[in-house]
Amino acid sequence: MKNKRNIFWNVSVFALLFAALAVISIGCASADTIYVPEEGNQTIQQAVNNASEGDTIIVRDAYTGTKENIDVTVAYLTIQSENGSANCIVNALNSNDHVFDVQQNYVNVTGFTVENATKNDKAGIHLDSVEHCNISYTNASNNGCGIWLYYSSNNILTNNTANSNTRNGIYLSSSSNNTLTNNTASNNNGGICLSSSSNNTLTNNIMSENNYNFDVDGSILSHYTHSIDTSNLVDGEPIYYWIDQQNKEVPGDAGFVGLVNSTNITVKDLTLTNNQQGVLLAYTKNSRIERINASNNNWAGILLYSSSNNTLTNNTASNNIYGIYLQSSSNNNMLTNNTASSNTRYNIHLYYSSNNNLFYHNNLINNPNHNAYDTGTNQWNTSTVGNYYSDYTGSDNNSDGIGETSYPIPGGSSIDCFPLMHPWKEIPPLKGDLDGDFQITSTDAAIVLEIAVGSRPCTPETLAIADVSGDGRVSSLDALMILQMVT
């Protein structure tokens, strides 16, 4: 009986080993290398059609000059040039179709120049609803879009060049968890764009001389959540893309500023041009943007998206589509002393439930549509002064610099009750003018007395105005001196 059991065991083990070896041999046999051009595989598409999962297609230099559009319909496939992109050029046969349209997972494409998919936003390389693909060492230029990921996640783009495309160099649409490393995008309409995508990682990517270099957009917080460090450059300057940061100031060498879900950040004294937005605040609060020149951007000079309780002061936004844009419940922000001019759509735009924002001492100049457009409920003046609008046609009968009639803000029911007759120029505070009306009155003396007895707080700014005597403090002496000025 024991011998029978041993014989049965040995036979079973042998059968299992034989089956395993058979599977391995089949797997090895299926991993073929196919060369293009050769008999039966004159084009890459023929090779793809003849390939099986796990195969490698190597395209020789002699292929260059062949025109075709390739649909990659086999998974676990590697398609590579023999000697690099300079020696292997794939031209679109149909310019209204992608050069490579990758439709299966686990596909590697490396070492090609792909071009001339020029119509209707077609791409040199298009990833369509796929995962775990790797695109590398490829020159995707002179197409509608260089490399386009559409609903595609967990892919790698590395060491690619995307130049002179009529749309974007690299475009991610509804695509998440991808890694972009060491790519170059130049002389496109847009450099790298992340649209409605999440959790992508960008490192050492170079964007330059595009109509706009960099863009992140979306409709929910996760669409703005990416890992983008300062090794990414726009026209030679680093991208500062901060998430979940507090109590910091953006360095002065920034080329693009994006603040996401952050608090108490200061952005100041920067020139930010040639991106989709100069400054992007998304889900950010209690921050300050000041003395920024945000001009010649493709969308907005300064964009606040679902961002509240921020202060924008002394900024310039010109020659964008929108100068300053508050969108999607961006509430309770204060904008003062800003100049928005010659933006093609609106100088200031409030849209989609952005309410309770305060605007005064802003200059809105030379817009072909409307200097301001407000679909919400916002305040366009203080109790005494509003903003300057270059298209305001009212009169100033008493020569106080404020128009006699209000300025209606298009888009809703907001109005500026005290429009300025001339552009606002910031004037240094008048010593003793505590209520900011540019006059010295008994009201100012009363405010100083309140500060002196401690019933009103004294900030450093207030001290500079209230300390008329110059002794470094606020006292009844200062109130007396103000009253003497009045009389």
In whole angstroms, what is the distance from residue 220 CA to residue 51 CA? 41
For residue 487, what pLDDT is reported? 65
CA 136 to each of CA 257, 271, 344: distance values in angstroms, whole numbers, following the listed order: 28, 34, 39
Phi and psi for 236 in degrees, rounded to 5? 85, 0
- CA dihedral (124, 128, 134, 137) in degrees, to 10, reads 10
Q: Which helix (H) or strand (E) holds 228?
A: strand 227-228
Q: Is 335 helix (H, G, I), strand (E, B) or coil?
A: strand
In whole angstroms, what is the distance from residue 411 CA to residue 394 CA? 20
- The reply to whether 19 falls in a domain is no
- The reply to whether 13 falls in a domain is no
> Do 389 and 320 have their domain in common?
yes
Q: How wide is the angle at C-alpha 400 spanned by C-alphas 398 and 403, nearest 5°?
A: 80
> Do 165 and 257 have their domain in common?
no
- The reply to whether 21 falls in a domain is no
For residue 486, what pLDDT is reported? 85
> Do 84 and 196 have their domain in common?
yes
Q: Is 212 helix (H, G, I), strand (E, B) or coil?
A: strand
For residue 164, give the CATH number of its domain.
2.160.20.10
> Do 329 and 255 have their domain in common?
yes
> Do 135 and 265 have their domain in common?
no
- The reply to whether 171 falls in a domain is yes
- The reply to whether 16 falls in a domain is no
What does the buried/exposed string (b/e) look like for 315-327 if buried means 16 or more CB atoms within 10 Å of the residue's CB? Answer: bbbbebbbbbbbb
Bond from prior residue into 37 cis (ω within 30 degrees of 0): yes
> Do 44 and 190 have their domain in common?
yes
For residue 16, what pLDDT is reported? 39
> Do 87 and 180 have their domain in common?
yes
In whole angstroms, what is the distance from residue 57 CA to residue 50 CA? 10
- The reply to whether 11 falls in a domain is no
pLDDT in tens, the chain (487 residues): 444 444 443 434 344 344 444 434 434 455 899 999 999 999 999 999 999 999 999 999 999 888 999 999 999 999 999 999 999 999 999 999 999 999 999 999 999 999 999 987 899 999 999 999 999 999 999 999 999 999 999 999 999 999 999 999 999 999 999 999 999 999 999 999 999 999 999 999 999 999 999 999 999 999 999 999 999 999 999 999 999 999 999 999 999 999 999 999 999 999 999 999 999 999 999 999 999 999 999 999 999 999 999 999 999 999 999 999 999 999 999 999 999 999 999 999 999 999 999 999 999 999 999 999 999 999 999 999 999 999 999 999 988 899 999 999 999 999 999 999 999 986 667 789 888 776 899 999 999 999 999 999 888 878 989 999 999 999 999 999 999 888 6
- CA dihedral (364, 367, 370, 374) in degrees, to 10, reads -50
> Do 183 and 240 have their domain in common?
no
Q: Is 340 helix (H, G, I), strand (E, B) or coil?
A: strand
Q: Are 191 and 216 in contact (CB under 8 A)?
A: no
Give the end of a domain, one of 381, 400, 426: 426
- CA dihedral (289, 290, 295, 298) in degrees, to 10, reads 0
Domain count, the chain: 3
- The reply to whether 219 falls in a domain is no
- The reply to whether 222 falls in a domain is no
Distance linking the first and last C-alpha atoms of the chain: 126
In whole angstroms, what is the distance from residue 95 CA to residue 195 CA? 25
For residue 427, what pLDDT is reported? 62
Q: Tokens 């690619």 label which residue?
A: 160
Containing domain of residue 105, as a range? 28-210
In whole angstroms, what is the distance from residue 423 CA to residue 428 CA? 16
Give the end of a domain, one of 180, 210, 240: 210
> Do 302 and 254 have their domain in common?
yes
Q: How many Cα atoms are found within 13 Å in the side-chain-facing hemisphere of 11?
A: 6
> Do 123 and 234 have their domain in common?
no
> Do 182 and 241 have their domain in common?
no
Q: Is 65 helix (H, G, I), strand (E, B) or coil?
A: coil
Bond from prior residue into 460 cis (ω within 30 degrees of 0): no
Q: Would you tell me how many other CB atoms lie within 10 Å of the CB of residue 203?
A: 15
> Do 420 and 473 have their domain in common?
no
Phi and psi for 166 in degrees, rounded to 5? -75, -20
Q: pTM of the predicted model, to two decimals?
A: 0.84
Give the end of a domain, one of 210, 241, 269: 210
